[in-house]
Amino acid sequence: MFQVGNYVVYKRDVCKIEAIKENYINNADYYVLKPVTDASLTIDVPTDNQFGYLRKPIGKDELNDIVNKIPNVEIIESPNKLIEHEYKRLLNSEDHLDLIKIIKTTYKRNKERLDNDKKIGECDDYYFKKAEQYLYNEFAIVLNKSLSDTRKYIIDKVSKLEN
């Protein structure tokens, strides 16, 4: 059981447990969660976690293991008309490397567009931002850094690995 003040990942959103409501609905206890990306939102989730939506953020060792794998993560090879379906599938998985696959793919596709004097794709831009948000919010909690410092930290680590 988690405690008030703990950070948890609810589905893909990093949240802080603000309170525990006892005997809230049908005599069940509920966590009151505040997503780190939206302080105006609260989410009530049963403490029994029967659907497995809640988990602890990854540990620092697991984070470093993920970062070390980034250079070897393949981009998505899918026809344009099927790419959004693949993005959705990967975004809903529980694997951090799937988020990295989205980030690498959308970055590459948008860079190619910009290099050819075209606008970036709305679909690619949306999934790039969403995958980065999910990944870096959790990494930021683990590293105890801001989002921008976390992004810079990851980029620097990956650059060193690729050289």
* Buried-exposed string 55-65: b where 16+ CB fall within 10 A, e elsewhere: eebbeeeebee
Q: Does residue 92 form part of some domain? A: yes
Residue 12 pLDDT: 87
86 closest CA partner among 62, 67, 104, 110: 104
Residue 27 pLDDT: 86
Provide the whole-model pTM: 0.89
Range of the structural domain that residue 94 is part of: 60-162
Residue 162 pLDDT: 82
The answer on 77 and 46 residing in a single domain is no
Q: What is the pLDDT of residues 105-152, one digit of tens each?
A: 999 999 999 999 999 989 999 999 999 999 999 999 999 999 999 999
Q: Residues near 123 by Cβ (< 8 Å), separated by ≥ 6? A: 83, 84, 87
The answer on 41 and 110 residing in a single domain is no
Q: How many domains does the chain have?
A: 2
The answer on 37 and 81 residing in a single domain is no
Residue 26 pLDDT: 83
The answer on 49 and 19 residing in a single domain is yes
Q: What is the pLDDT of residues 25-62, one digit of tens each?
A: 888 899 999 999 888 999 999 998 777 789 999 999 99
| Confidence check: pLDDT of 66 > 90 | yes
Mean pLDDT, the chain, as a whole number?
Answer: 92
